[in-house]
Amino acid sequence: DIQMTQSPSSLSASVGNRVTITCRASQSIYRYLNWYQQKPGKAPNLVIYAASSLQSGVPSRFSGSGSGTDFTLTISSLQPEDFATYYCQQSYSTPRTFGQGTKVEIK
Amino acid sequence: EVQLVESGGGVVRPGGSLRLSCAASGFTFDDYGMSWVRQAPGKGLEWVSGINWNGGSTAYADSVKGRFTISRDNAKNSLFLQMISLRAEDTAFYHCARETSLAAAGYMDVWGKGTTVTVSS
């Protein structure tokens, strides 16, 4: 199975800050990498698919990049509604696997 | 409105069985694959199982292989997860999700709110 490792596990940031989360796969997954946002008590919400494609309805301050084994999710200017946990997930093969999550907290 | 609604969760003893259902509406169900994803209390997301559009291809996480069976009824716009030999570690919130493709490059773009499964004696 492909292992997905995110860093950091948590971070504290202020509104307006630029935030970057990284995700590393245990083998090349080309660009088959998705990012999800989850708020407490809610279902996950797709943010980025295929490494860099913005899901419809998601603000343009979110962006994704990377290929192969290393990927990043960037929030260009953190807003109050962005405080949540973010998960990467590979869709290169089954079983699908998620990273352990990165909790973005208010500083 | 595109919607997924799970049901069938509950409390079950170790070794017991449970069948989860997911009712889909607002989209052409048999145009999509589907997946089940779970989240144990205070833990991260774990993909459990997926099925392609016609049920001809299925996949499972190693942790549930041989104990869980995914299926679908396209005529009833429904997805199922039959769970047997349940263990305490299966305790989680179970979400169904619309999967654009079970092959490479798929992503889960619609999620249900989930149903709770508790395995306890």
Mean of all residue pLDDT scores within chain A = 97
Query: What confidence score (pLDDT) does residue B2 get?
Result: 97
Compare CB distances from B62 to A30, A87, A95 and report the shortest one's residue: A95
Q: Provide the pLDDT for residue B102.
A: 82
The chain A residue lying nearest B63, using CA atoms, is A95
B40 touching A (Cβ < 8 Å): no
Q: What is the pLDDT of residue B105?
A: 85
pLDDT of residue A60: 98
Question: For the residues A79-107, what does the mean pLDDT come to?
Answer: 96
A92–B104 C-beta distance less than 8 A? yes
pLDDT of residue B56: 95
Helix (H, G, I), strand (E, B) or coil at A98: strand
Q: Quick check: B33 contacting A, CB < 8 Å?
A: no
Residue in B with minimal Cα distance to A53: B107
- Residues of chain A with pLDDT > 70, as a percent, come to 100
pLDDT the model gives residue A106: 87
Ranges of chain B with pLDDT below 70: none
Contacts of B68 in chain A (CB under 8 A): none
Q: Name the closest residue on chain B to residue A96, using Cα atoms.
A: B47
Counting DSSP H helices and E strands in chain B, the numbers are: 0, 11
